[in-house]
Amino acid sequence: MNEQEIQEVARFLFEHKPWLVLTGAGISTESGIPDFRTPSTGLWEKYDPMEILSREVLFSRTEVFYRIGFQILMSFQNAQPNQAHLTLTEWEKRGWVTGIVTQNIDSLH
């Protein structure tokens, strides 16, 4: 997109508030939380999701499922909201955002 198109989109958005915001793992990577698919840094580079976080493993190797899940959750422990999270918070305070839909489990937004 060129600058003029970006300005047109921004104008349209600001004229049509409030918004419902959809986010994914990418919003938290700046906070040091890896996403799942990025080559060399994604969680699936370290773990095979079908071997550790599947329904089958949950029931057949419960301790592995919870151990790895706990390690993933603990990796979020020191993460702090980044500018994107803070911006969403500000927009919500202003009434520009009616809701945020996400599958993220990092509790940063």
In tens, the pLDDT along 41-80 reads: 777 777 787 777 788 888 998 888 888 889 888 888 999 9
**Model confidence band, residue 11 (pLDDT cutoffs 50, 70, 90):** very high
Shared domain check, 71 and 88: no
Q: Among 79, 84, 87, 86, which Cα is nearest to 107's?
A: 79
What's the mean pLDDT in 13-24? 96
At 56 the pLDDT is 86
Q: Among 107, 105, 85, which Cα is nearest to 36's?
A: 105
Shared domain check, 91 and 69: no
Burial class of residue 64, CB neighbours in 10 A (0-12, 13-18, 19+): middle
At 87 the pLDDT is 97
Q: Which two tokens stand for residue 7?
A: 């300005």
Shared domain check, 41 and 18: no
**pTM for this one?**
0.77
Q: Among 80, 101, 90, 89, which Cα is nearest to 30's?
A: 80
- Domain span at residue 51? 35-75
What's the mean pLDDT in 76-89? 96
Shared domain check, 23 and 2: yes
Shared domain check, 64 and 48: yes
Shared domain check, 94 and 64: no
Shared domain check, 88 and 56: no
Shared domain check, 56 and 68: yes
Shared domain check, 39 and 19: no
Question: What mean pLDDT value characterizes the chain?
Answer: 90
Shared domain check, 39 and 71: yes
Q: Evaluate whether 41 touches 84 at the Cβ level (below 8 Å).
A: no
| Domains: count for the chain | 2
- The answer to whether the Cα torsion of 69, 71, 72, 76 is positive or negative is positive
Nearest-angstrom CA–CA distance, 43 and 52 = 11
- Above 80 in pLDDT, residue 26? yes
For residue 100, which phi and psi values (nearest 5 degrees)?
-125, 125
Shared domain check, 23 and 41: no
Of all residues in the chain, the percent with pLDDT exceeding 70 is 100
